[in-house]
């Protein structure tokens, strides 16, 4: 079994991967980095560093906050700044989901006659002509797809941007599930550096978050709303015909 990033897949696609009997699972969040940015995890990481960093190196932490309300506010600030790009990514990813059926796909496949070998000149020539004709037909289907009209694309982007900038979406930190984890992590790291004069490298900051996840999650298995790690473990155990963990 193996786990892949959710990327921008819809939630129902992700949930299906837990129960479809296949060896491929998806994180419920965009990527593994998203699990590092839960406010409680960030606060624990920063508090631990404040308490354990020698006084001679305390300057590396600047005046970083270590309360969840401030961290949650800074996360929202970073998410709001990233929203225009994230809306474009989500719109693009879901556009492909929507056009896969009505528009068809222009697959790159060598005709059977040409892949298996044939000494017949006419048959080889006709196979090539037929394949290009098929490609043109599929291209025309795609070009005529209603989802690809300029106004439809504009509306798709505007709707996505409105959804992810709505007050409830931001206040409930839904972006921690759907936004690009690595990019959001980079934005948070830069924000702490710029606003609070933190001088930790991104690698050091990420490692501190990674260590904090284990501690905070162990104390609160519903830290992420759902117990994603347990569900993943039980999905793997089901494949191996083993009883579930609780």
**pLDDT level of residue 158 (50, 70, 90 thresholds):** very high
Average pLDDT for 130-144: 87
Query: Nearest to residue 204, comparing CAs of 72, 67, 49, 32?
Result: 49
Residue 102 in this model has a pLDDT that exceeds 60: no
Residue 105 in this model has a pLDDT that exceeds 90: no
Residue 97 in this model has a pLDDT that exceeds 90: no
Residue-averaged pLDDT of the chain: 92
Average pLDDT for 135-150: 87
Residue 101 in this model has a pLDDT that exceeds 80: no
Residues 6 or more apart whose CB falls under 8 angstroms from that of 83 comprise 161, 164, 165, 175
**pLDDT level of residue 129 (50, 70, 90 thresholds):** very high
pTM: 0.86
Q: What is the C-alpha R_g of the chain?
A: 24
pLDDT in tens, 178-230: 999 999 999 999 999 999 999 999 999 999 999 999 999 999 999 999 999 99
**Per-residue pLDDT, 109:** 73
Residue 132 in this model has a pLDDT that exceeds 60: yes
**Per-residue pLDDT, 21:** 84
**Per-residue pLDDT, 104:** 60
Residue 140 in this model has a pLDDT that exceeds 90: no
**pLDDT level of residue 117 (50, 70, 90 thresholds):** low
Average pLDDT for 156-180: 96
pLDDT in tens, 11-47: 998 998 888 888 899 999 999 999 999 999 999 999 9
**Per-residue pLDDT, 79:** 98
């Amino acid at each position: 079994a193996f786990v892949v990033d959710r990327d921008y897949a819809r939630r129902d696609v992700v949930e299906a991967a837990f129960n479809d009997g296949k060896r491929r699972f998806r994180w419920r969040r965009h990527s593994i980095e998203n699990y590092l940015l839960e406010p409680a995890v960030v606060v624990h990481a920063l508090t631990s560093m404040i308490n354990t960093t020698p006084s001679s190196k305390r300057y590396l932490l600047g005046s970083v906050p270590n309360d969840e309300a401030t961290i949650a506010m800074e996360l929202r600030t970073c998410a709001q700044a990233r929203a225009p790009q994230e809306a474009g990514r989500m719109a693009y990813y879901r556009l492909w989901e929507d056009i896969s059926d009505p528009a068809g796909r222009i697959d790159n496949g060598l005709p059977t006659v040409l892949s298996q070998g044939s000494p017949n000149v006419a048959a080889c020539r006709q196979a090539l002509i037929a394949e290009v004709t098929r490609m043109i037909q599929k291209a025309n289907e795609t070009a005529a797809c209603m989802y690809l009209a300029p106004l439809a694309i504009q509306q798709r982007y505007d709707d996505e941007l409105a959804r992810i900038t709505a007050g409830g979406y931001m206040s409930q930190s839904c972006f921690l599930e759907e936004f690009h984890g690595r990019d959001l992590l980079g934005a948070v790291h830069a924000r702490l550096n710029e606003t609070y004069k933190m001088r930790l490298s991104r690698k050091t900051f990420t490692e501190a978050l990674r260590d904090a996840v284990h501690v905070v999650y162990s104390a609160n298995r519903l830290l992420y709303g759902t117990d994603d790690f347990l569900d993943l473990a039980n999905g793997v155990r089901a494949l191996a015909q083993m009883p579930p963990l609780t």
